[in-house]
Chain A
Amino acid sequence: MNLEFKNKRISGILTILPSREVKFEDEMDNYNFSRAKSLKLKLAMGYNKHRIVEEGTCASDLLVFGMNHLINNNLLNKDDIDALILVTQSPDYFMPPTSNIIQGKLGLKQDVICMDINQGCAGYILGLIQSFMLLDQPEIHKVVLLNADVLSRKVSKRDRNSNPLIGDGASITVVERSSEECTIYGSIKMDGSHADALMIPAGAFKMPSSVETAEMKEDANGNFRSLDNLVMQGDDVFNFVQREVPPMIESLLERADVKKDDVDGFMFHQPNKFMLDKLADRIGVPREKMPSNIVANFGNSSGVTVPINIVFNVGEKLTHESKMLCLAGFGVGLTWGTLLINFSNLHFCESIDY
């Protein structure tokens, strides 16, 4: 589905990362890899270190901490917030919505829309799409988009498919109307027939958690996980990304009448270095224009990787320069989406540790 948004802008991004850093080497003995194979994979996949929350830390903890940082430093006036959109797969509770909990903890006004969206790797794209749409309402002037996931709590430490790359994190993005004429082009697609490619089978209403779902079992490749854990069909996801994402990016740029050379950066979701390098080659952009260093430094935090990517790689420049960035997210759902946005003179674009 092709989308266009008129006169909207991102005015600030803050990422919040758990201060606890775990090194790949310290976890290698958990997996059924030889040391040599682990070290080869470290290079190819970009495994190095990842940020993991302490036991018991929730998405709301990271976000309330980040919101208080912005409010206390006069980077955000809480009375100006007309909508609070949270994209997460790790809510505090099934009910009530975590966005309502955050609104209550921050003491935001009642004249506000709070909304939880369940999305994963494309969560930043979907959250921005929702934010842009809300800004078409005459009484909504400022939307705060929250993205957060603490999925390390749902990953088996003995699952070499997922554990080395998973990371936790959160982001806060302020979205407003732009006083300058501009168009943001976007596109998003879904394929729920492959919804099982990335999932946590147990723990909700279809398969409630039980003693049976918590039982650790070994798969064909020697990974140990339970039905309560995240499971990923990595090769299926890889093939889907290589097949579906390049034509979507080509179509987006063609619609926007923008050449690849004129895009300053392709700030994509960060599944692993190997997948991103292959994706850059397929799209036909230099690998250095598509950063793939987030898994190595922080881990894959699902919908939060795109803002972490932006802040880590170009954040400092965005506070005093203009840059045309192509964003893309792809994975859970399956969902894949992209946005082409001109970032200019952000009020803040930084990261803090929790």
Chain B
Amino acid sequence: MKEKIVTILNGLRPEFDFSQPVNFIEEGMLDSFDVINLVTELESTFGISIDGLDVLPENFCTVDSIMNLLKKNGVKE
């Protein structure tokens, strides 16, 4: 799961290193449009539908937070 997430993030913003332990939103590595593209890519890759209430910056600020969101949607690690 983690590898797939990093691949998607690198595809969205190849100029950044998403293996760093930083807050992607606060560091400006992902903006609100990146989050929208990230949601659609996660949904198609993992076959899930992310609740609109979960489209919040805190759910996309680190790889771990994205993994937690996927787990909440039934994706197995």
A residues lining the B interface (CB < 8 Å) = 33, 37, 40-41, 43-45, 160-161, 220-221, 234-235, 238-239, 242-243, 274-275, 278-279, 281-282
User: A242 to B52, Cβ gap below 8 A?
Assistant: yes
**Chain B residues positioned under 8 Å from A40 (CB to CB):** 37, 40
How many residues in B have their beta carbons less than 8 Å from beta carbons of A? Answer: 17
Complex: how many Å from CA A343 to CA B39? 37
User: A44 to B52, Cβ gap below 8 A?
Assistant: no
User: B31 to A282, Cβ gap below 8 A?
Assistant: no
**Chain B residues positioned under 8 Å from A235 (CB to CB):** 32, 35, 57
Cross-interface CB contact of B49 among A44, A220, A239, A281, cutoff 8 Å: A281
User: A44 to B55, Cβ gap below 8 A?
Assistant: no
Report the tally of A-B residue pairs with Cβ distances under 8 A: 50
Complex: how many Å from CA A4 to CA B37? 41
Cross-interface CB contact of A242 among B37, B39, B55, cutoff 8 Å: B55
Q: Which residue of A lies closest to B51 (CB)?
A: A282
**Chain A residues positioned under 8 Å from B31 (CB to CB):** 220-221
Inter-chain pairs besides A37-B37, A275-B52, 15 sampled, C-beta below 8 Å: A33-B33, A44-B37, A160-B33, A161-B32, A221-B28, A235-B35, A238-B32, A239-B53, A239-B56, A242-B52, A243-B53, A274-B40, A281-B49, A281-B51, A281-B52
**Chain B residues positioned under 8 Å from A278 (CB to CB):** 51-52, 55
B36 within 8 A of A: yes
Interface of B is mostly: helix
Nearest 5 CB-CB pairings of A with B: A278-B52, A242-B52, A235-B32, A221-B31, A282-B52
In the complex with contacts A41-B36, A44-B40, A235-B57, A279-B52 CB distance below 8 A = yes
**Chain B residues positioned under 8 Å from A282 (CB to CB):** 51-53
Q: Which residue of B lies closest to A239 (CB)?
A: B56
- Can you list 29 A-B pairs with a CB-CB distance of less than 8 A? A33-B33, A37-B12, A37-B37, A40-B37, A40-B40, A41-B33, A41-B36, A41-B37, A43-B40, A44-B36, A45-B36, A221-B28, A221-B31, A221-B32, A221-B33, A235-B57, A238-B52, A239-B55, A239-B56, A242-B52, A243-B53, A274-B39, A274-B40, A278-B51, A278-B52, A279-B52, A281-B49, A282-B51, A282-B53
User: B33 to A242, Cβ gap below 8 A?
Assistant: no
Complex: how many Å from CA A243 to CA B53? 6
**Chain B residues positioned under 8 Å from A45 (CB to CB):** 36
Identify which of residues 43-59 in chain B touch chain A, using a CB-to-CB cut-off of 8 Å.
Answer: 49, 51-53, 55-57
**Chain B residues positioned under 8 Å from A33 (CB to CB):** 33
Complex: how many Å from CA A160 to CA B57? 19
